[in-house]
Amino acid sequence: MPEPWTRYTRLVFGCAVGARADQDLAEAAEIASWLGLELAAMLIEDEAVAALGSHPGAALLSPTGAVQSQATGPAMVRETSAATRAFRRRLEHEAARVKLTWTFQTLRGRAETAIAQTVRQSDIVVYSEPPSLLERDAFPQRDLWQAVDRSPGAVLYRPSRPLPARSGIVAIAGMGAAEASVEAVARQLAQATREPLRMLVGVSNWRALPEQWGHTPPRLIVLARGTTGLSGSDAIAEAAHRLRVPLLVLEETPQGA
Amino acid sequence: MTLQPSAKLSPEALYRRCGLEQFTFKTTEELSDVPQLIGQERAFSSIDFGTRIKRHGYNLFVIGTPGLGRHTSVRSLLEERAKAEKPPSEWVYVHNFAVPHCPQALELPHGRALAFRDSMEEMIDDLRSALTAVFESEEYQNRRNAIDEEFHQHQEEGFAALKDKADAAGIAILKTPMGFALAPMADGAVIPPETFNALPEEDRDGYKEKIQTLQVDLEAILKSIPKWDKERRAKLRELNREIAMQTVEQSIAEMTDRFSDLPIVLEHLDRVKKDLAENVDMFLGGGEDGGQGGLMELFDEGFNRYLVNVLVPREDGDASAPVVSLDNPTMLNLVGRVEHVPQQGALITNFLLVKAGALHRANGGYLVLDARQVLGQLLAWDALKRALRARRIAIESPADYFGGISTISLQPEPVPLDVKVVMIGERWLYHLLCAVDPDARELFKVVADFEDDIDRDDAATGNFASFLATACRENDLLHLDPGGVGRIVEHASRLAEDAHKLTLEVGTISDLLSEADFWAREDGASVITAKAVQRAIDEQDHRVGRLRERMQEYILRDIARIETKGSEIGQINGLSVIMLGAIRFGRPSRITARVRMGAGKLVDIEREVELGGPLHSKGVMILSGYLSGRYALEEPMSLAATLVFEQSYGGVDGDSASAAELFTLLSSLSETPLRQDLAVTGSVDQRGNVQAIGGANDKIEGFFDICKARGLTGTQGVIIPKSNVQHLMLRADVVEACEAGQFAVYAIETIDEGLALLTGLPAGERGADGAFPEGSVNRRAEDRLKGFAEMRRVFAKGASGDDDNGKTGHA
């Protein structure tokens, strides 16, 4: 009988065209490699963003705040195409670096529905926190977040500013059927990274976690949804943001069980 | 046949034995060591002078034949002198904080460099752990988080207000590949363009107005972010500096105490302190602000920039001046190099990869180089000269010389040079170098010339025995009995090609000694006797004897024609020496001459086909002079003659066959047969005097071996110049055959003496009438020449011309 966590087959990494995702993609590729998963990279060409170039009511600004009055549809198409190529190159580089299998697809339409139609129960979906509140609340990131929130599979929450010099894997033991999966996934990660595994029991509040690891924060925390008071996606995302450590949140009921 | 008994050498003249009565020891074990090589007083005196004079350009060039023990004795002399000299300063390279690609050289007193390096390593290690702890402290983290939070708070507040405002106004904020956008929104989604266009104009205007307002707010926020971030980084830097410097100052203070007597180190520590203050982010794991980037980052190398590169580590106990020998004197091995390491496809370097060359290692002492190797290495000689002339070592890349594509590299600060270079080479090499490069004499003002041999007298023989005793002890060999010593002394004379000299080729003698030791032990002997020495000599000859034996075989099977009996007109046995590496032996060659009437031209066939060297050609031309001055003085020289080394297919050089060539020419001219059981060697001058040549022993033995193989007749022998008698150290079997009257060696001074020996006829002296005696060889020769002259006159009267080829015209 296979280990419970082996029922996960893909790590889904979705991001909007033009998002700065190099570090996120590199870390996602490493985690997929450690867990022996296929990396399914998805680049979303949001329909609303695509239409902005010819939208009579839209105003466009550069990242530094300069008004782009000359921005047109063709320019947007060119930028989108360049960003897609750059993402693809980066993906190929990271996949070669950590030696994993991968797929790449460009999804067009509204981000929320495009992702929702693609993600399966056996997927681990990556949510990379945008670097600023502005980007977090902007479309299509807003839609991406909705898609992650409704994802039927496990989710890897990656904070925008993870702590440097992290080492080791922390598994937070919970109650219920997901406990075996948490332990198995954490063990697999520890083995692959050759870093220590710490099993934490009886952690009721995630805010107390830093006391557990002192000066050496873990590379990753594995937990089941509902443990340490983390049930909703907003709460989990805030925990990852505050702890500045990625959280791999597995479902209470192992997928496919 | 009339022989000239006075010319025949007695057996005693053929070999000078070593009188064993002069040796009072039973074995050489009783003899004391010789402190240095014997017979090299002049060279040692030069080396002593050269090493003591401390002036620019007074480097040494030790010249002499290979095998004289120059390297060993020079090294030994230099080491002895170095012991009495102070150890030199030590040089280290440190990072140049002002110009990163030019590492700085610091001079430290002897014995302090390693301590300085270790202290700096220790300090940086301590700082790394101490600062890591400091930066991980709760206090630091809290202060840092406060700064970060302040920044993010700024952003978040601005963004949150904007988002609320946008949501309330029904405006969507979008992130695009080109930046941000504001667009009208309805039901949580952007209103598509066609729907927007279908809206009433006032609704569209309303949206546009709201967007304009929000756009101003968004612009302001986005433009403020870089400013906030700059402020954040400045605050972080200040915090880091404040936290770090408390620890850094303490560590630097400890170092300052340890090296308070070295101002140059204190200055460097001051620079380190300033740099640490500016770069404490390194201790935070790289820092999120990045380094200087690009080229500067390659040179900086993070923490490594504070380390110390000791060019030549010297141990505490090493308290003498260095004596360095360089076996492979490439340019880089001489002046040092800047090494590179590959990193992600690029070649990276820093001052820690600056490697010392032999000049660095020998700085303050002596550097011993083999001249041939230095001159054989591309750029090495030029690099050495530049360093000696400038009196500093500048590390340069060979690529700089060729002006091609140059890699980005370091330019380490040159190190002052104070070294005595001792080049060891052969004489011809030194003289050639001086001829083609005037710098050679300027930079190597002292020449130490090693003798090839010494006079063989009792004192020298005694010293030679002591030298053998030393060699036996140093090489752990059996000692020699007096007979063994005597045989080696005799062989040393043979190697010197002079019965009155002893070779100083200590390498060859040491080899013979080792091999004699081997054969003595094979025989179970406890000392090396003459028998073991002779066995070693014979075995050496045997090992290299294949070619000699093959050539003798060709002669004995008449493939190469050499007559050893009877008489022939215009044919003689000349003698030559074959030298190929360690192989050396004598070989007879058949020389023939043909004459006819002509215009006085002597044709050297070897020269015509470009097989004859210049010395050989000179020898043949001298023959013309001899003939012109000796015969038919009142007649024009009307001779055409050809001379050739028969069955010679290689080059011929030297004039040692000129006497033989003259004999065969005179034989052909006088139509007088020459004895074929004699071989001849010797050069001749225009007056007919026979002069010394080289290789007399080998040549005699070469002809002897052929005669012996065919059966000694008692009439066979070799004619040599009288001035070569002093060189004779012939093989024992040759001497024994001479003693038994089976073979003979004749010494002559003039061509006439040789003619008498070779023809059995008197050569003939001019009488009062100016004519040679009737029947003499010279008379015959002169008459023939006169005949040619007469014939030429006859032809000249009726011919329109003639030439050397004998063509005649018709009236």
SS3 (DSSP) at B771: coil
Among candidates B177, B181, B218 on the partner chain, residue whose Cβ is nearest the Cβ of A58: B181
- In angstroms and rounded to an integer, the radius of gyration of the C-alpha atoms of chain A is 19
- Who among B174, B208, B221 is closest to A48 (CB)? B174
Q: What DSSP assignment string belongs to A104-131?
A: EEEEEE-HHHHHHHH--TTEEEEEEPPS
Taking an 8 Å cut-off on Cβ atoms, the answer to whether B177 and A83 are in contact is yes
Q: Work out the number of other CB atoms within 10 angstroms of the CB of residue B261.
A: 9
* CA–CA separation, B783 and B768 (whole Å): 17
Which of B716, B760, B763 is closest to B741 using CA atoms?
B716
* pLDDT tens-place string over residues A36-50: 999 999 988 888 888
Per-residue confidence (pLDDT) for residue B291, from 0 to 100: 39
For residue A4, the model assigns a pLDDT of 47
The band of B290, judged by pLDDT with boundaries at 50, 70 and 90, is very low
Contact A60 B181 (CB under 8 A): yes
Bridge partners of B544, per DSSP, are none
Quickly list DSSP for B116-167: HHHHHHHHHHHHHHHHHHHHHSHHHHHHHHHHHHHHHHHHHHHHHHHHHHHH
In chain A, helix, strand, coil percent, each to 5? 45, 20, 35
Task: Give the tokens for residue B577.
Answer: 């020496």
Q: At what angle do helices B777-798 and B658-670 cross, to 10 degrees?
A: 70
Phi, psi of B355, deg, nearest 5: -110, 140
DSSP state, residue B714 = S
Tell me which chain B residue has its CA closest to the CA of residue A71. Answer: B178
Contact in structure between B394 and B449 (CB atoms under 8 Å) = no
Choose among A65, A66, A138: nearest Cβ to B173. A138
B656 is catalytic: yes
B668 belongs to the catalytic site: no
Q: Is B179 on the interface with A (CB under 8 A)?
A: yes
Query: Which of B129-133, B469-473, B722-726, B744-748 is least confident?
Result: B129-133
Residue B208 has pLDDT above 50, yes or no: yes
Element (H, E) at B18: none
Find all residues with CB under 8 Å of B742, minimum gap 6, and list them.
B712, B713, B714, B716
Q: Which candidate, B300, B253, B260, B309, places its Cα nearest to that of B278?
A: B300
Q: Are B417 and B93 in contact (CB under 8 A)?
A: no
Task: For the beta carbon of residue B216, count every other beta carbon within 10 angstroms.
Answer: 11
| DSSP codes of every residue in B571-586 | EEEEEEEEEETTEEEE
- Which residues are B369's β-sheet partners? B326, B423
Q: Residue B733 corresponds to which tokens in the numbers above?
A: 């079997």
Question: Interior CA angle at B614 toward B611 and B619, to 5°?
Answer: 100
For residues B709 and B549, is the Cβ–Cβ distance under 8 A?
Answer: no
If you average pLDDT over every residue of chain B, what do you get?
A: 87
pLDDT of B294 over the 70 cut:
no
Nearest to A80 among B163, B177, B219 (CB): B177
CA distance A125 to A148: 7
Compare all CA atoms of chain B with the CA of A78 and give the residue at the minimum distance.
B177
Which residues in chain A have Cβ-Cβ distances shorter than 8 Å to B204? 56-57
**Cβ contact (<8 Å) for A76 and B178?**
yes
Q: Which residue has the tokens 């005597």?
A: B486
CA separation for the pair B674, B595 (Å, rounded): 16
- The pLDDT confidence band at residue B493, using thresholds 50, 70 and 90, is very high
Residue B652: predicted pLDDT: 74
Identify the burial level of B447 via C-beta atoms within 10 angstroms of its C-beta, where 0-12 means exposed, 13-18 middle and 19 or more buried: middle
Nearest Cα to Cα of residue A42 among A117, A131, A150, A152: A117
Contact between B696 and B658 (Cβ < 8 Å): no
How many angstroms separate the CA atoms of A193 and A177, rounded?
26
pLDDT higher at A112 or A104? A104
Which member of B210, B273, B501, B699 is catalytic?
B699
Residue A111 pLDDT greater than 80, yes or no: no
Count CA within 13 A, CB hemisphere, residue B668.
23
B594-651 pLDDT, tens digit each = 988 887 777 766 777 677 777 777 777 788 888 888 887 788 888 888 888 888 877 7
ipTM field: 0.84
How far apart are the C-alpha atoms of A6 and A154, rounded to whole Å? Answer: 13
How does residue B260 score in pLDDT terms, banded at 50, 70 and 90?
very high
Q: What is the pLDDT of residues B213-232, one digit of tens each?
A: 888 888 888 888 888 888 88
Q: What is the pLDDT of residues B562-601, one digit of tens each?
A: 999 999 999 999 999 988 877 899 999 999 999 888 877 7
Contacts with B192 from chain A: Cβ below 8 Å: 48, 51
User: Hey, is the C-beta of B213 within 8 angstroms of any chain A C-beta?
Assistant: no
Confidence of residue B287 (pLDDT cuts 50, 70, 90): very low
A–B interface: beta-carbon pairs under 8 A: 139
Contact residues, chain A to chain B, C-beta under 8 Å: 16-19, 46, 48-49, 51-52, 54-68, 71, 75-76, 79-80, 82-83, 110, 130, 132-135, 137-141, 164-165, 215
Best B129, B132, B148, B175 residue to mutate vs chain A (most A CBs within 10 Å): B175
Among the options B656, B670, B683, B776, which is catalytic? B656
Smallest CA-to-CA distance from B225 within B162, B146, B291 is with B162
Span A132-158, pLDDT tens digits: 777 887 888 888 888 888 888 899 999
Which residues, listed in sequence order, are joined to residue B179 by a DSSP beta bridge? B176
Positive/negative CA dihedral, B4, B6, B10, B13: negative
Give the relative orientation of helices A22-35 and A178-193 as an angle to the nearest 10 degrees: 100
